[in-house]
Structure 1
Amino acid sequence: MDSLSQIALGAAVGVAVMGRRTAVWKAAAWGAVAGTLPDLDVLIDHGDPIRNMVLHRAETHAPFWLTLFALPFGALVAWLSGQRTLWRRWMLAMWLALVTHPLLDAMTVYGTQLGLPFTNHPYGVGSVFIIDPAYTLPLLVGTLWALRSGGTGRGLAANAAGLVLSTAYLAWGVWAQQHVTQVARAALAAQGIVAERLLVTPAPLNTLLWRVVAVQGDAYHEGFRSVLDRGPAMAFDRFDRGTALWPAVQALDGAQRIAAFSHGFYALDATDGRLHITDLRMGQQPAYVFRFAIAQRQGDAWVPLPVAEQLGMRPAVGRAWAWLWRRALGQPVPPPR
């Protein structure tokens, strides 16, 4: 999730665990710090944009390592807060603020390596967009209420309510995702599309509109479904995956990493003498965040670039915004291309 959501979650968790045992501002401040710490791995440059992408949300997002870190970190926070006798409670607060960060991240589609050091599998439920105000606002309101109230019963209750509402919103997202998945499978089958892989993930900033990607051989099909849509019909657009180009890049580290990290939701294309690989999970046709140039044409061969180049695109904001909310409300308008 975005940094503001993680700060808000960490602060709310800190306040909930510490309660009246310390000043609300201390619990919120240290919770916010703990909620931010896992994302500091973005400051590490692995020397290549693809490696930077796939190695984000790795060790710093693994509950095993975060648990080990929480022990000395919680003791340090207790000492800095002048509450050494409460070190166990501070450890618990910091541990929960730390581990809820990757658990929330895993609800997005990106990929969080929760199982390190035992497995580097990137887990991603994909039931909430990376930025969603409906998730973040209850946390902010509840924590701010607690801060303004100075730790009174009502303030702490408001903070707890913010945590309950935000968690309930995540549960709603999982339900909506499963509902759209069922509709999409039926619609694909009705159109004779046999999906080898199926991705259902929310469009930006909401959980009303969902994007569906079905991979079938050398093509992928993209469609959109609002929970407010009526009837079982869904429209899908077909796009080439460029699988014929795979033999030219299958030995490249970057191509292998994207193929694995995206769980097979990738496409290849050759444009202007360069070969590109795209993670199809984040963005929508034709604008994707993670698109990389990995090789260039020299004669009859594709020669790997020394370092991959990220060429992510974003759609025209005005057109995309207008379409997004009309489509989310159930209007059958085609996506901007």
Structure 2
Amino acid sequence: MDSLTQLTLGAAVAVVTLGRHSPHKTKLVAAGAILGTLPDLDVLLDYGDVVSNMVLHRAQSHAVFYQTLLAPLFAYLAAIFCRQRQYYWRWLLATWLIFISHSAIDAMTVYGTQLALPFNNQPYAVGSIFIIDPLYTLPLLIGVGLFLQRQHTPAGYRANMLGIALSSAYLLWTVAAQWQVSQIIKQALTAQQLNYQQLLVTPAPLNTLLWRFVVITEHGYAEGFYSLLDADNSLTLHHVATDPTLKARYQQLKSVQQLAAFSRGFYNLRQQNGQLLLTDLRMGQEGSYAFEFVIDSTSGMPLAQLPMRHNSDTALPWLWRRALGQRLPSPYWPSDQ
């Protein structure tokens, strides 16, 4: 999730664990917020190339085993910062819960979080919530804000608890909505007699009304959108043909193997203007992907990450109109779609 969500979640968990025991409420919130952002500092590490930097983000720093090992140290530092060494064991619990909740909410996104290192490197990704979702973050933010405003009253503590309850309820809603949309899409694809090998269903940016889906087919892949406010369950698909010989030719390249495993098969290889392009199909949409790399076809080394194509003047209005049930093609699709 985004940094604001993680620092707010960390602060909220710290308040739940120590809010009734700390005379230094502001320091308590600050310590929780700092602890909540620590796992994401792995983004500062350079693993040698842009593909490795992507697939190794949310790795060791997000693994439960390593978080458990490091929690005593950071709990001690937090207890000193808040002048609460007498509550070290509560700080240990708070620190561990903050680290675990950070990784857990990250695993609810589609990116992939390697929770089980060093025992296995499987990236866990439920994909039911977008990396930025105001309806998840705002209850936490308001709850922590009210706690700070009413530091010496039970009402502030209850407000924080309510914020956590509401955000958790919303998270459960995202899972239920994803399941419901997945069933609708599967039925619609069956009705269209489309044979597919894999299906990915994940929310569009900033909401859980509009959902994007990707299907891997025999001849390539297809993308579409479904809104919970659509009048019916019919689907419009944008089909993309792929060259199967490219995957066969380059499947032994390290970068291709890395992204193939990390994306769980939702990737594409294509050639454009003499360049070999490697794309993660899970994040962004056709014509505007978040992770697309130029690969040296001889050495397999990633040469560069391509910038994501943005067109906010048309994309944002389309997003909200499509979420409200207007059946409009993506602004990034070819005009004949």
**Corresponding residue for residue 321 of structure 1:** 316
Shift of 1:99: 1.1
What secondary structure sits across from 1:192 in the alignment?
coil
TM-fit CA distance, 1:94: 1.1
| RMSD between aligned residues | 1.2
What pairs up with 1:135-284 in 2 under 5 angstroms? 135-284=136-285
Deviations along 1:254-274, one digit per CA (max 9) or x if unpaired, are 011011110000111101111
Q: 1:19 is matched with which residue?
A: 19
Query: Which of 261-270 and 245-254 deviates more?
Result: 245-254
Structure 1 position 80, deviation (Å): 3.0
Using the TM superposition, name which of 20-29 and 264-273 deviates more. Answer: 20-29
Q: Aligned letter for 1:330? A: G
Q: Could you say which residue in structure 2 is the equivalent of 1:62?
A: 63
Q: Secondary structure at the match of 2:171?
A: helix
Aligned to 1:298: none
Please name the residue that 2:290 is paired with. 289
Amino acid at match of 1:278: T
Residue 64 of structure 1: CA displacement?
1.2
Please give the alpha-carbon distance, in whole angstroms, between the structure 2 residues aligned to 1:63 and 1:306.
31
What amino acid does structure 2 have at the position aligned with 1:52? Answer: N
**8 Å contact 1:58–1:116 — kept in the other structure?**
yes
Deviations 1:7-51 (A, max 9, x none): 010001111110220022122111101100000000101110000
Q: Which amino acid aligns with 1:70?
A: A
Query: Where in structure 2 are there 5+ consecutive unaligned residues?
Result: none
Alpha-carbon distance in 1 for matches of 2:293, 2:129: 25
- Distance apart, 1:120 and its partner CA: 0.3
The residue aligned with 2:2 is 2
In the alignment, residue 111 of structure 1 is paired with which amino acid?
G
Task: Look up the match of 1:100.
Answer: 101
Residue 121 (str. 1) matches residue 122 (str. 2): yes
State the alpha-carbon separation in 2 of the partners of residues 290 and 308 from structure 1.
13
**1:306 CA drift (Å):** 4.3
Matches within 5 A, 1:29-44: 29-44=30-45
Contact 1:34 1:97 in 2 (8 A): yes
Q: Distance in 2 between matches of 1:34 and 1:122?
A: 23
Query: Which stretch has the larger CA shift, 64-73 or 305-314?
Result: 305-314
- The question of whether the paired residues in 2 share the 8 Å contact of 1:241 and 1:266 is answered with no
Cα pair 2:253 2:300 within 8 Å, conserved? no
- The size of the alignment, in residue pairs, is 331
In 1, Cα distance between the equivalents of 2:243 and 2:156?
56
Gaps of 5+ in 1: 296-301
> Do the aligned residues in 2 keep the contact of 1:20 with 1:151 (CA within 8 Å)?
no
Question: Secondary structure in 1 aligned to 2:123?
Answer: coil
Aligned counterparts of 1:58 and 1:44: Cα–Cα separation in 2: 11
The answer (yes or no) to whether the contact 1:19–1:151 under 8 Å persists in 2 is no
Q: CA deviation at 1:165?
A: 0.7
* Identity rate, percent: 51
Q: Per-residue deviation at 1:206?
A: 0.5
Conserved 8 A contact 1:108-1:124 = yes
Task: Give the partner amino acid of 1:164.
Answer: A
| Higher mean C-alpha deviation, range 17-26 or range 240-249 | 240-249
Judge conservation of contact 2:76–2:92 (CA < 8 Å) in 1.
yes
Instruction: Report the Cα offset of residue 164 of structure 1.
Output: 0.6
How far did residue 97 of structure 1 move? 1.0
Q: What is the letter of the counterpart of residue 98 of structure 1? A: F
Equivalent AA in structure 2 for residue 146 of structure 1:
F
Q: Which amino acid in the other structure matches residue 329 of structure 2? A: P
Deviates more, 1:173-182 or 1:146-155: 146-155
CA contact (8 A) 1:18 1:90 kept: yes
Deviating more after overlay: 30-39 vs 69-78: 69-78
Q: CA deviation at 1:78?
A: 1.6
- Pair 1:151–1:96, CA change in 2 (3 A): farther
For residues 129-152 of structure 1, the C-alpha deviation after alignment (integer angstroms, 9 at most, x for no partner) is 001111111111100100011141
Q: Deviations over 1:117-176 (max 9, x none)?
A: 111000000000001111111111100100011141111111111101111111111011
Question: What residue number does 2:46 align with?
Answer: 45
Q: Give the C-alpha shift of residue 227 in structure 1.
A: 0.8
